[in-house]
Amino acid sequence: QAELGRPRRCGYALPGHDFSYGLYIHGTDGGVPEAIGHWHAMKPRPALQRKMPRDYITMNCSALRAGYATAHEFNLFYKAKDIRQKADEESRFKRGPPKVPADMTYGIVSRPPTPFFDLLQHKYKELWMEQQRATTVIQREEKKKVITQISYETRTTLLRKHPLPAKEESFWHLPRLDKVRSSSKCGDTLSSCSHALFI
């Protein structure tokens, strides 16, 4: 209900000064002051002592040198002299911390600073101008080579170099008489041909 003589309020009252917005997590790590005060370093895990497998090659050679031949004698020799394989120095079973030098820098090494004296003398500008001049000279030489090598061929130049063969003139004749065999049955001899003409 609105107060007497005042308009009705359309909002909510703000919470007190001790109110925290958002989700409050009850942590036991001490928060920001403890993180700034000291650094929690991870303690390295101790190297796992793994039982290495037996070195049967070395034990078999030793048993043969000792004069053993049967399987029973070999088993007795294995129990008497238990020789294990040697652990590699860089074995994956060793989970100790890597040996890192004390003065090692992590991340990307910053580039050396630009000498200020070279900037005042416009040294980098001069170097860039020289590179551009050299590039322009090389491009001009390449363009000249291309122009001298390429020769444009047109229809006129091709006809001058390779003219078309001249057509042989032939007498006019009726097209229906082309490739028509003669009706006279002449033989190879002159007498048979003359006989066929007079018949």
Asked whether residue 32 is domain-assigned, the answer is: no
Beta bridge partners of 35: none
Q: Are 80 and 108 in contact (CB under 8 A)?
A: no
Asked whether residue 185 is domain-assigned, the answer is: no
Q: Which of 71, 88, 105 is the last residue of a domain?
A: 88
Checking if the pLDDT of 114 tops 50, the result is yes
Q: Which of 133, 149, 165 is the last residue of a domain?
A: 149
Checking if the pLDDT of 105 tops 80, the result is no
Asked whether residue 141 is domain-assigned, the answer is: yes
Per-residue pLDDT reduced to its tens digit, 136-187: 999 999 888 877 666 678 888 888 888 888 877 777 777 777 765 665 555 5
| CA 106/CA 128 separation, integer angstroms | 35
Checking if the pLDDT of 126 tops 50, the result is yes
Asked whether residue 72 is domain-assigned, the answer is: yes
Asked whether residue 134 is domain-assigned, the answer is: yes
Per-residue pLDDT reduced to its tens digit, 32-82: 777 777 666 667 777 777 788 888 899 999 999 999 989 999 999 999 988
Residue-number span of the structural domain to which 76 is assigned: 51-88
pLDDT of residue 191: 56
pLDDT of residue 159: 87
Asked whether residue 6 is domain-assigned, the answer is: no
What does the pLDDT average to over 81-110? 72
- 60 Cβ contact partners less than 8 Å away, ≥ 6 residues apart: 74
Q: Are 101 and 56 in contact (CB under 8 A)?
A: no
Asked whether residue 102 is domain-assigned, the answer is: no
Tokens found for residue 20: 């925290």
What does the pLDDT average to over 99-110? 79
- Structural domain count of the chain: 2
pTM, to two decimals: 0.25
Q: Which of 149, 168, 191 is the last residue of a domain?
A: 149
Instruction: Give the number of other CB atoms < 10 A from CB of residue 83.
Output: 14
**Higher pLDDT pick, 107 / 71:** 71
**Higher pLDDT pick, 113 / 38:** 113
pLDDT of residue 89: 46
pLDDT of residue 93: 46
**Higher pLDDT pick, 31 / 185:** 31
Asked whether residue 138 is domain-assigned, the answer is: yes
pLDDT of residue 152: 74
pLDDT of residue 29: 66
Q: What is the DSSP string of 41-109?
A: PPPPPPPP---PPB-HHHHHHHHHHHT--SHHHHHHHHHHS--BPPPPTT-TT--PPP---TT---SPP
